[in-house]
Amino acid sequence: MEAAIGAARGLVGREAQRRGVINNPSLEELLHKLHTKVGKAEDALDELHYFIIQDQLDGTQYAVPDLGNTLWGHARHIRHAIHHTIGNFILPFFSCWLLQDDDHGAAAMNDPHNTANPGSGNDGSVTKLSFDRVAMSKKIKQAIEEMHSLCDQFLELLKIIPDHSTSTTIVNLKRPLTGSITAQENLYGRRDLFEQTIKDLITNCTNSNKTLSVMPIVGPGGIGKTTFAQHLYKHERVEEHFPVRAWICVSTDFDVLKLSQQILSQIEEKNSAYKISSLNQLQKSIEKRIKSKRILIVFDDIWECTTQDWETLLAPLGKGETTGNMVLVTTRFPSKVDDVKTTNPIPLKGLEPNGFFKFFEALIFEGEKPENYNDELTDLAKDIAKKLKGSPLAAKTVGRLLKNDLRKEHWMAVLEDNEWQKQKNNDDIMPSLKISYDYLPFQLKKCFSCFSLFPEDHRFSNLEITCFWSALGIIEKDENYMEELSKNGFLVKENDRWSNQQYYVLHDLLHELAQSVSSQECLNIYSNASFRANDVPKSIRHLSITMKDKYVETFRTEMIKLKSKVDIANLRALMIFRKYEEQIDEVIEDTFKEMEALRVLFIEVNSPESLPHYFPKLIHL
């Protein structure tokens, strides 16, 4: 069984990566079927492992003789054989317990505290599952036969697909919320606009008789609004002119209380503001702190806000004794500009061509150009740069893609990729992001796609996401995949203001890409009002609920439909990024009480006693 799973996973990952056949419909259909069968086979193995542990606890031998011990020993042997055969290729989706080292795996079997709880009733009592040797044997035999059949079909299909392994990018795996500090040291292509903005910012404030002015910076996603604002914020003339400054990342969550807490925590240089839950008290503290000093507040990446919320947020900022206080706002939505502006907005478009190409080259070569660059690669680089529409975000991902392989053949393949034909307009950079994704190694693709399950602007710690990937069986624990995704331009590394702890953030367009590439397996319900179960693929295996809007009764109706459409019993991950709410909890209980294959459960509760008791067979957690 382990041999069949290992061979199937290794075959799929290695060959799909080598041959570049991601867009082959026949292969995609076959991969989906094989993926489903392998998942069910792993469920059977995990179930067997549960019964082996239960035998150890009870002093019985229902699962161990003949089947259990033999299979466990065979699994350890096969694991090493597969690694030897496939080399450094990482087997994605391998069960976590199988990837433990031998001593640890054996210890887990003999550890009486390492129980797989199949579930508990409302009274907290544990319900044991009974072991059916005949049924288990049939299940394993059927799973092996089905996987062998699909692998044979897979190999036959690969015979007629060209091998493009010579052009595959090889990455050595051994080797956003935003902040005011930019990782981009130089500002390319906008020097004149930047100097004029500095002049306008200071002149308008100096000559203004207004207490508070609002200057919006507007442009499409990935165009560099945040970077432009960061350079303004850190400029020495701006620092001298505005002694009190704060940088606030807003994004999709416009919560006046939380934003006020952020403002106070920055202007006080303390973290105690988050302990204040009264908006009135927060606003009085802000007003007192800025009373006699000129302030600059940046609200980065505003999506939605009502006029009333905006006016409430700004209320204490306009009560200072000095004039010329300034608020900078960055947004991709022109409609928001009219709602907040008091001065002329700064429209950002693509970088001017010469400055953009210098930026693109800097990302590719980092100052060290190869000898053959001027002869062979210059024209290719310029042609590729034209397709990036002056977008810094597109330049970062595609630039890293070219940097990974400086051969002419690789650059030509990128230039001629069919994905470019899907560009809808001059602001559309999704095709360039998708091309960069397509060239990622297979295991990095699987890691990246999981980001779709998290809320936008989520702060990822290395430990948190590594445990998540490991629980789903995607990775081995000793690989630094986050760092590799960062090197490829898919993540930005930052440090927490107070703890100095390192974390990673994902640009909202890359979050959108993650949702697109994972749409057949991952579902993120971000709005209960607009969620429609009929739009959900039957193949969904991972589900998250990140909605922030108020509960509406149609959500219950749609979740009932979802239960009849998706195989709830075989969901691998359930993540609920919403504070406990009785109505939501009832819907979740009705929908998910039949889950059996769950590997990841994330849920916020008021206390340990309020943990849900309605999951009857969670033996895989």
Give the model confidence (pLDDT) of 95-129 as tens digits.
333 333 333 333 333 333 333 444 444 454 555 66
Please determine, for residue 386, whether its predicted confidence score (pLDDT) is greater than 90.
Answer: yes
User: What is the structure's pLDDT at 120?
Assistant: 47
Bridge partners of 471, per DSSP, are none
Give the least confident one: 73-77, 198-202, 569-573: 73-77
- The CATH number of the domain covering residues in 353-442: 1.10.8
Which ranges of 208-250 does DSSP label H, i.e. alpha helix? 225-234, 236-241
Q: Which of 87-91, 197-201, 267-271 has the lowest mean pLDDT?
A: 87-91
- Does position 162 have pLDDT exceeding 70, yes or no? no
- Assess whether pLDDT exceeds 60 at residue 521: yes
What pLDDT score was predicted for residue 67? Answer: 46
Residue of higher predicted confidence among 452 and 496: 452
Q: Is the pLDDT of residue 24 over 50?
A: yes
Read off the pLDDT of each residue in 585-604 and give the average, rounded to a whole number.
83
Assigned CATH for 191-347: 3.40.50.300
The percent of residues in the chain predicted with pLDDT above 90, rounded, is: 34
Reported as a single tens digit per residue, the pLDDT across 430-460 is 999 999 999 998 889 999 999 999 998 899 9
Predicted confidence (pLDDT) at residue 47 exceeds the cutoff of 80:
no
Q: How many CB atoms lie within 10 A of CB 519?
A: 17
Q: How far is CA 276 from the centre of its chain?
A: 31
Contact yes or no for 544/575 (Cβ under 8 A):
yes
Picking from 282, 352, 275, 274, the residue whose alpha carbon sits closest to that of residue 312 is 282
**Chain centroid offset of residue 289 CA:** 37
Backbone angles phi, psi at 216, to 5 degrees: -85, 145
Q: Over the chain, what is the mean pLDDT? A: 77
Side chain identity, residue 140: I
Look-up of token digits 């710690």: 461
Burial class (CB in 10 A: 0-12, 13-18, 19+), 491: buried
At residue 158, the pLDDT reads: 63
Nearest to 574, CA basis, from 562, 561, 558: 562
Residue 208: per-residue pLDDT: 74
User: Which pLDDT does position 85 carry in this prediction?
Assistant: 32
Contact present, 524 and 452 (Cβ < 8 Å)? yes
pLDDT of residue 205: 73
Tens of pLDDT, residue by residue over 216-266, are 999 999 999 999 999 999 999 999 999 999 999 898 888 999 999 999 988
Q: Which residue has the higher pLDDT, 505 or 9?
A: 505
**Alpha carbons 86 and 7: distance in angstroms, whole number:** 9
Highest mean pLDDT among 135-139, 168-172, 304-308, 614-618: 304-308
Query: Are residues 215 and 343 in contact, defined by beta-carbon separation less than 8 angstroms?
Result: yes
pLDDT above 50: residue 389: yes
258 Rama class: left (phi>0) / alpha (psi -120 to 50) / beta = alpha
**Does 417 or 1 have the greater pLDDT score?**
417
CA dist., res. 389 & res. 187, Å (int): 17
Rounded to an integer, the average pLDDT of 278-293 is: 89
* Residue 337: per-residue pLDDT: 84
The residue ranking higher by pLDDT, 519 or 26, is 519
Query: What pTM does this model have?
Result: 0.72
Q: Is the pLDDT reported for residue 367 higher than 90?
A: no
Give the residue, 385 or 39, on which the prediction is more confident: 385
Helix H segments across 59-187?
69-86, 102-110, 133-159
| pLDDT in the model for residue 9 | 55
Highest mean pLDDT among 48-52, 289-293, 531-535: 531-535
Which of 163-172, 201-210, 438-447 is most confident?
A: 438-447
Say which residue, 370 or 21, is predicted with more confidence: 370
Distances (CA, A) of 49 to 4, 255, 469: 17, 46, 20
Return the residue matching tokens 């007192």: 288
Tokens standing for residue 274: 């988050």
> What is the pLDDT confidence band of residue 397, given thresholds at 50, 70 and 90?
very high
